[in-house]
Structure 1
Amino acid sequence: MADTPPSAPSLYESREPIFPRRVSGPFRNLKWALLAVMLGIYYITPWIRWDRGPALPDQAVLLDMANRRFFFFWIEIWPHEFYFVAGLLVMAGLGLFLFTSALGRVWCGYACPQTVWTDLFILVERWIEGDRNARLRLHRQKQWDLRKARLRVTKWVAWFLIAMATGGAWVFYFTDAPTLLRDLLTLQAHPVAWTTILVLTATTFAFGGFAREQICIYACPWPRIQAAMMDEDTLTVGYRDWRGEPRGKHRKAEGAETLGDCIDCRACVNVCPTGIDIRDGQQMACITCALCIDACDDVMAKIGKPRGLIDYLALSDETRERAGNAPRPVWTHVFRPRVLLYTALWTLVGVGLVVALVLRPPVEMTVAPVRNPTFVMLSDGSIRNTYDVRLRNKHGEDRLFALSIDDAPALTITLEGEDDTTVDVRANETYLQRVYVTAARGTPEAQNERTEFVLRLEDTTTGDMATKETVFNGRDN
């Protein structure tokens, strides 16, 4: 019988779950504070009320998709003002470039939603199952008993409730929160609301509870983009190997005096949420959360060594410190040309948006000439053009608008369905009005092929005006 060939080694290694150890210190406290603030903003904001009058919703922050409107406290963004949203997205992108060029992946470590909810899920896991060693023992326990089942089910239920609250809070941003909550409790909510909550609950439960660091390492594109934003002066979490190596246990034995400051306690590895060893150098999986700094500083304090074996460093600091020089001050790393350029661009876009918001008119209109036909000859020989005029009333009450013509006294204006040249537009609505402009027979406007004129819109209550240049098409003789 022929020998059975050996099986080929597997090229796939299954994921080993990461159970970060609890750590305390300034960076961990900063992360807790930011987590509380950001989650508070996310969950509470839809319930803040803002009185805009009887014709408008009283929710402070509302993405009113049905009426194509975005409300943010006293600011109201209309569909044709989408450039404000585009400007905010540009500012968000520039902000990411700015912080990454100055402090590495500080966004990922402190403010990314994946990081925030993963921190929250790990906190719940620690409350229920214990710290790292207890969770490791529970994970390695192959046989399920009553205790393991109770702890796991309790944890999963808590995660599910957090995930459901996350999905529920998101849909409250798109409709009146109290009304939607009543509809959800009475099972009368629209299927879109239920579907959105279900999808967000499932993704939050899976990403924050199980995928965790895999989202940061494999799914998120930012680790692969960040290299273009960083240079040798970017501050990021690093290990001073010239001080820590050779590492080893500092026992009273021959050769101990030749060891570096690192005692190879692996505290930095045990607290890392992505499971890397920062002593191996900068890695794509590092999210710059700085928890390894807190862990290492705590160990250094216990063995009587100075802090900073793991710290925020720049590559340019390594050369200086290896030569025995002090590192450059932090401000020289932060305030450098690339960072200042991003700051200037970010500020420029922000100032532009504020100026555009302040200067935008309270009354607006758009004019669209009807091109088929371009003009009509009436029975008395006069020439008439037709225009579709869209009027926007941005006030919280109904307004009476008057239309008139500037720079062309021979042209007369009439409104379809109206006895005069005024039209009533309801509060916070857009109204489409068909307008007729007529030139009498024999006038230059009736005989010339094109005559430019200005259509003027006036708010009869406040006197606010809007104008629009357009063209009257006459009969070319």
Structure 2
Amino acid sequence: MSSTDNEPAPSLYAAHEPIFPRRVTGWFRNLKWIIMIFTLGIYYVTPWIRWDRGPNLPDQAVLIDLANRRFFFFWIEIWPHEFYFIAGLLIMAGLGLFLFTSAMGRVWCGYACPQTVWTDLFILVERWIEGDRNARLRLHNQKKWDLRKARLRLTKWTSWMIIGLATGGAWVFYFADAPTLLVDLVTGNAHPIAYTTIAVLTATTFFFGGIAREQICIYACPWPRIQAAMMDEDTLVVGYRTWRGEPRKHSEEVKAGEPQGDCIDCMACVNVCPVGIDIRDGEQLECITCALCIDACDDVMAKIGKPRGLIDYMAISDETNERAGKPIKPVMKHILRPRTIMYTALWSLVGFGLVFALFIRADIEMSVAPVRNPIFVTLSDGSIRNTYDVRLLNKHGEDRPFRLSVVGDPALRIQLEGTPYESVNVPADTSFLQKVYVIAPAGSDPANSERTQFRLWAEDTSNGERAHKDTIFNGRDN
């Protein structure tokens, strides 16, 4: 038996190596800081913005009111039957993602994706507490736990937990009045669902932003696998100019007369990468196009007296001209091309449609549902009565009187359950159900016909606004 027979089979999976990105400064890093502050500010502050809607509506500017099945966004109120507005916004978000990917690759992932934003925040806190890359590597490689390591790790994990708690807390504030819910949470009077949601989001934020980090982008996110469908040879992506950088050597390795590229193999681009790849190996699935490697490389080029751009945003279609030293396309020609123009046109079309629908929607609406059991009732005087469930929607902030009437055959008359009048008072910002009777006298055409079409009108008598629905009156088929 050979010695190799006793050796264990090689593993198909490599152990995960933690990534500790080095601090970097530059234009793209500053842009990422600005976007992080802006997006986190929107997320944490928005539930606390107040908006006066009158005495009968919540004063929160942005509120997802699941109990009453409505969505409030400043002056806009979306009702359940208007879900097409939400669907339209989701379509616009998808088209926007296609547009950005077609123009500049995974630029969304590198700058505005929640996973990226929170991971940046967690790494920033880690750097404040444990130090920059080398210090964090030394702490990680220190196998023996002493008081200093325990103190630093406990401080870091506590800070991460506070961020996660704030993240989960901010999320639940979008579903209830934020000041009231905060008091209930602190005093222990909030609904168990609120505490459960906060606990789950705290744990997932801690894990995704602090522990998993780049593994979410590499393994869990489906976008890297499908982004190629939106990209082509004119898409601007972060790349390495091999024709300029190779052969790469450290300055002490260069011998007289040997060719030398601009890359000095300093590993700065690798050390700042949040997903731990070497961009010099070419475009890779893991790359989130954050451009931190550009800042790191530009800083090194400035120190050794070389022009910037060894690592830069570039398109594959420009490679031939760059190698030959010829002019390349301007950036805007890469961005404004048929694919991106098509996505922009579709995005604008959906947005215009949503705005148009928002401005033409009525402040009163109605729905009519005939009661089918029984189809009709014969009254003592021989007249025929049909029953209808009429739902009246008053979107105004005050009570409104609605008058109901029928138009069609002149023999039809209307009667409202619970009132001798043809008007009903609909409470403010409410969907109100009213039972309505439509009666045809004995011997009239509707009473003797199997089906008679008519129109039921609802009029807001305070301003004359009207809504209508067509329906059927069922009579005896003689």
The answer to whether the superposition gives a TM-score over 0.5 is: yes
| Matching residue's letter, 1:178 | P
SS of residue paired to 1:435? strand
* Cα displacement (A) at 1:7: 2.2
SS of residue paired to 1:282? coil
* Cα displacement (A) at 1:2: 9.6
**Structure 1 position 423 matched with structure 2 position 430:** no
1: CA distance, partners of 2:133 / 2:2: 50
2: CA distance, partners of 1:412 / 1:231: 67
2: CA distance, partners of 1:6 / 1:239: 41
2: CA distance, partners of 1:142 / 1:43: 38
1: CA distance, partners of 2:63 / 2:98: 28
> 1:453·1:472 contact (CA, 8 Å) conserved in 2?
yes
After alignment, is 375-384 or 185-194 more displaced? 375-384
After alignment, is 276-285 or 440-449 more displaced? 440-449
| Matching residue's letter, 1:238 | G
**Structure 1 position 373 matched with structure 2 position 377:** no
> 1:250·1:256 contact (CA, 8 Å) conserved in 2?
no
SS of residue paired to 1:390? strand
Counterpart of 2:384 in structure 1 is 383
| Matching residue's letter, 1:355 | F
> 1:50·1:60 contact (CA, 8 Å) conserved in 2?
yes
SS of residue paired to 1:40? helix
Task: Tell me the alpha carbon deviations over residues 159-210 of structure 1, each in whole angstroms, 9 at most, x when there is no partner.
Answer: 0000100000000000000001001111111100000000000000000001
2: CA distance, partners of 1:100 / 1:9: 38
Counterpart of 2:36 in structure 1 is 35
| Matching residue's letter, 2:51 | W
Counterpart of 1:142 in structure 2 is 143
| Matching residue's letter, 1:301 | A
**Structure 1 position 180 matched with structure 2 position 181:** yes
Q: 1:12 to 1:252 in 2, by over 3 A?
A: closer
> 1:250·1:259 contact (CA, 8 Å) conserved in 2?
no
Task: Tell me the alpha carbon deviations over residues 270-301 of structure 1, each in whole angstroms, 9 at most, x when there is no partner.
Answer: 00000000011111100000000000111111
Q: 1:348 to 1:302 in 2, by over 3 A?
A: same
SS of residue paired to 1:288? coil
Counterpart of 1:109 in structure 2 is 110
Q: 1:53 to 1:253 in 2, by over 3 A?
A: closer
* Cα displacement (A) at 1:448: 1.9
Q: 1:280 to 1:2 in 2, by over 3 A?
A: closer
After alignment, is 6-15 or 389-398 more displaced? 6-15
* Cα displacement (A) at 1:247: 0.9
- Tell me the number of residue pairs that the alignment of Structure 1 and Structure 2 aligns: 477
Counterpart of 1:294 in structure 2 is 295
| Matching residue's letter, 2:338 | P
2: CA distance, partners of 1:111 / 1:326: 32
SS of residue paired to 2:189? coil
2: CA distance, partners of 1:436 / 1:72: 38
**Structure 1 position 240 matched with structure 2 position 272:** no
| Matching residue's letter, 1:130 | G
> 2:406·2:414 contact (CA, 8 Å) conserved in 1?
yes
Q: 1:256 to 1:307 in 2, by over 3 A?
A: farther
1: CA distance, partners of 2:242 / 2:345: 36
Task: Tell me the alpha carbon deviations over residues 333-360 of structure 1, each in whole angstroms, 9 at most, x when there is no partner.
Answer: 1000110000000000000000100000
> 2:254·2:260 contact (CA, 8 Å) conserved in 1?
no
After alignment, is 42-51 or 458-467 more displaced? 458-467
2: CA distance, partners of 1:277 / 1:343: 33
* Cα displacement (A) at 1:380: 1.7
2: CA distance, partners of 1:407 / 1:319: 75
> 2:371·2:387 contact (CA, 8 Å) conserved in 1?
yes
1: CA distance, partners of 2:450 / 2:342: 51
After alignment, is 370-379 or 157-166 more displaced? 370-379
Counterpart of 2:453 in structure 1 is 452
Q: 1:167 to 1:32 in 2, by over 3 A?
A: same
SS of residue paired to 2:457? strand
* Cα displacement (A) at 1:449: 1.8
Q: 1:392 to 1:253 in 2, by over 3 A?
A: closer
Instruction: Give 5+ residue unaligned stretches, structure 1.
Output: none
User: For residues 9-408 of structure 1, what are the structure 2 equivalents within 5 Å?
Assistant: 9-251=10-252, 253-255=254-256, 258-408=259-409
> 1:31·1:110 contact (CA, 8 Å) conserved in 2?
yes
Q: 1:413 to 1:263 in 2, by over 3 A?
A: same
Q: Percent identity, please.
A: 74
After alignment, is 436-445 or 353-362 more displaced? 436-445
TM-score by length of 1: 0.98
* Cα displacement (A) at 1:256: 6.0
> 1:61·1:173 contact (CA, 8 Å) conserved in 2?
yes
2: CA distance, partners of 1:205 / 1:254: 50
SS of residue paired to 1:385? strand
> 1:447·1:476 contact (CA, 8 Å) conserved in 2?
yes
**Structure 1 position 6 matched with structure 2 position 7:** yes
> 2:366·2:390 contact (CA, 8 Å) conserved in 1?
yes
Task: Tell me the alpha carbon deviations over residues 12-39 of structure 1, each in whole angstroms, 9 at most, x when there is no partner.
Answer: 2210000000000000000000000111
2: CA distance, partners of 1:327 / 1:444: 81
Instruction: Give 5+ residue unaligned stretches, structure 2.
Output: none
1: CA distance, partners of 2:464 / 2:177: 34
- Root mean square deviation of aligned Cα: 1.3
* Cα displacement (A) at 1:324: 2.5
TM-score by length of 2: 0.98
* Cα displacement (A) at 1:252: 8.1
After alignment, is 404-413 or 276-285 more displaced? 404-413
> 1:49·1:58 contact (CA, 8 Å) conserved in 2?
yes
* Cα displacement (A) at 1:474: 1.9
1: CA distance, partners of 2:45 / 2:408: 54
1: CA distance, partners of 2:320 / 2:456: 69
1: CA distance, partners of 2:257 / 2:66: 68
After alignment, is 4-13 or 129-138 more displaced? 4-13
2: CA distance, partners of 1:187 / 1:455: 50
> 1:53·1:396 contact (CA, 8 Å) conserved in 2?
yes
1: CA distance, partners of 2:71 / 2:457: 28
Q: 1:2 to 1:357 in 2, by over 3 A?
A: closer
Q: 1:343 to 1:2 in 2, by over 3 A?
A: closer
Q: 1:165 to 1:295 in 2, by over 3 A?
A: same
1: CA distance, partners of 2:335 / 2:322: 19
2: CA distance, partners of 1:255 / 1:115: 45
1: CA distance, partners of 2:370 / 2:39: 49
